[in-house]
Structure 1
């Protein structure tokens, strides 16, 4: 079954808890979403709150993919660029598909829904993201149409002696 995507769903305890579980489960399955395993939902909570604040202030939007049972199965945060000369593109953050749903094409579905959401926003012409080198994420995003436009070697320290590249990728929407 396909996921059902919703842009800017109401933030309620069910969504909050679903995102916390998604984020911790993705991280603990070795997903490159800003943490290193092991994490708990309480470890993730402060970062989710920061995302919710950005949404409340109108600086970010949330796209959620729900599975056939109505559970949060995928998500991505789209953040407007505040720089007056760069408002024609947005940042994509914290792209996640729950491990139990990986391998079903839901990641590609999520990225297509992200592009559709961005196209619906006034003045947005491109999506920019960064990902952790060595995780395979750059190959996934490339398969979704993104192009690598920059690489900062060793800028992400996963653990002492394990530094990864910070890879910047871009998807023009034109």
Structure 2
């Protein structure tokens, strides 16, 4: 890894996602999930075939106005990513949601998540004209402290809403970033 920060790019159209990028996004998601990350799959281990349909569904919805992938790279290699979405409905089109923030396990702790979240905030405010961001985080993993450190506030909690492997239940923590 270089001492410089990550290179951040946006993918805002399905045609922006090359075969190599699709494979790298999938590999990252598998790696993070199988290491115990809160990346959307509650029962690891997962394989590429498990993850690919979910990634393809995200890619299919990419649109500059409503859905973007933000990708972080080190030395030309995918290091992490997230999905920033806006609901197109008129009641909620002023806010967006963050989904699937993840960083390669070998690069965690080096500011990737912070860089991606700061870029998501900038893109939401400056490019998508959003006023607030929402996310749901898996409780009990330290994520609340991470997001709070970036200016997010906990606005609600669904106790034992998430059932993980081995019957372990976790709260789903609802968080808000406003103003952007």
Q: TM-score, normalised by structure 2?
A: 0.90
Q: Distance in 1 between matches of 2:111 and 2:168?
A: 30
Contact 2:65 2:128 in 1 (8 A): no
Contact 1:7 1:117 in 2 (8 A): no
User: Per the alignment, in what secondary structure is the counterpart of residue 55 of structure 1?
Assistant: coil
Contact 2:29 2:102 in 1 (8 A): yes
Q: CA deviation at 1:160?
A: 4.8
Q: Distance in 2 between matches of 1:137 and 1:101?
A: 17
| Equivalent residue for 1:6, pick from 4, 9, 30 | 9
Q: Distance in 1 between matches of 2:149 and 2:137?
A: 14
List alignment gaps of at least 5 residues for structure 2. none
Structure 2 residue aligned with 1:170? 176
> Which deviates more, 14-23 or 53-62?
53-62
Once the two structures are superposed, the pairs formed by residues 22-171 of structure 1 within 5 Å of their partners are 22-35=28-41, 36-55=43-62, 59-68=66-75, 70-171=76-177
Q: CA deviation at 1:56?
A: 5.3
List alignment gaps of at least 5 residues for structure 1. none
Q: Deviations over 1:108-137 (max 9, x none)?
A: 111111111111234301110001111211
User: Per the alignment, in what secondary structure is the counterpart of residue 121 of structure 2?
Assistant: helix
Q: CA deviation at 1:71?
A: 1.0
CA RMSD for the aligned pairs? 1.6
Q: CA deviation at 1:173?
A: 3.3
Q: Deviations over 1:64-106 (max 9, x none)?
A: 00112x1111101011113311111101100011111111122
Report whether the alignment pairs 1:17 with 2:20: no
Q: Distance in 2 between matches of 1:90 and 1:121?
A: 12
Q: Distance in 2 between matches of 1:58 and 1:101?
A: 30
Aligned residues: 173
